[in-house]
Amino acid sequence: MNSDQEALAFRETEAEAQTLFDELAGLVPAERRAEYYRVIAHTRTLSPDDEMLRILEAMGVLALLTRETPAEIAAERKSLRKILESSASQANAVEKRMAGYASHLESRLAQLPKELETGLDPPRIAKLLGESLRQCFQQSGLPDTARALDQSCSEMSSVQEKLVNVLREVAHPDIGVIARIRSANDSLLRSMTTRAQQMDNFLVRLEKQVLAIWLPVVATAALALGFALGTWFANERQAASDTSGTVQSQQRLRAPDAPRQVVPLRPAKHH
C-alpha cells in the first residue's frame, strides 16, 4: 500500500513538473528548444526529491514571475491612474456644484432684504392694524383692543429679532454658512491634492523597487542557470568518456587469446 501511494505521489509530482516545464517552453527561443527538451528529458529520470529538479522548478517559477509580473504591474498602474482620474473628475464636479450652490445662496441672500421689505410693507401692516382696531372697537371695546395691539407688537418684535439673528448667522464672515462652505471646499481640495501626491509617490517607489530588486534577481538566476547547465554538460561528457573507457578495457580482458598459426616447412629440393 505504501509503495502504491509513493508511486501515485511521484506521478502527480511528475505531471506538475511537466506542466511547469511545458509553460516554460513557450519562453524558450525556437532554436534552443531542442536543447531545452533534452534537459527536460533528463529531469524526468530524476527522483521527486532530487535537488537539481527542485532548483530547476524554482528557476522556472522565477522565470514565469519575471515574465508576468511587469505586465501585471503595468495593468495595475493603469487601473490606479484611471481611479485617480475618475476621482479628480468627481472632485472637479463637486467643486463646480459647490460653487453653483454658493453663488445661488449669495444671490438669495442678496434678494432677501428686498423680500423682507416687501413682506414688512408698512402701509399694508397699518391697514391691517387699522382694520383690526376697528373690529376690536366694534366687538369688545378699548381694553381688549389695547391688549391685542400689545400682543401683535410683541410678536412682531420677536419675529424681527429672530429674523435679524438668522441673517447675522448666515452672513457672518467666520461662522456663517458661506464661510463654512468655503472652508469645506478648501479642505476637500487639499485632501484630494494630498491623495494624488501620495499615489504618485507610491508609484515611483514601486517602480524603483522593481528596478532595484527584480533585475538583479533575474541576472543572478540567469548566471546560476548557465553555471548549472555548464556543470551538468561537463559531468555528462566526463561520465560518457569514463563509461566508454571501462567497456573497452573489459572487452580486452574477456577476449581469449587467438591460437598461433603453425607455418609448415617446405622440404628442400635436392639436385
Neighbours of 260 (CB within 10 A): 6
Cell representation of residue 202: 507610491
pLDDT of residue 17: 44
Domain layout of the chain by residue ranges: 50-238
Cell representation of residue 125: 401692516
Spatial distance between the Cα atoms of 168 and 180, rounded to a whole number of angstroms: 14
- What are the pLDDT tens digits along the chain (271 aa)? 444 454 344 444 444 445 566 666 666 667 766 766 777 777 777 777 777 777 777 777 777 667 667 777 778 888 888 888 888 888 888 888 888 888 888 887 777 766 666 666 667 777 777 777 777 766 766 666 677 778 888 888 888 888 888 777 777 667 767 777 888 888 888 888 888 888 888 888 877 876 777 777 878 888 888 888 888 888 888 887 777 767 666 666 665 544 444 444 454 444 4
pLDDT of residue 126: 74
Measuring CA to CA, how many Å separate 217 from each of 23, 65, 72, 81, 90? 20, 11, 18, 28, 41
Q: Give the torsion sign (CA, 80, 84, 89, 94).
A: positive
Supply the DSSP string of 187-212, one letter for each residue: HHHHHHHHHHHHHHHHHHHHHHHIII
Spatial distance between the Cα atoms of 127 and 129, rounded to a whole number of angstroms: 5
Q: Where are the alpha helices (DSSP H) in 120-214?
A: 122-139, 142-171, 177-209
User: Length of the chain, please?
Assistant: 271
For 32-84, what is each residue's pLDDT tens digit? 667 667 777 777 777 777 777 777 777 777 776 676 677 777 788 888 888 88
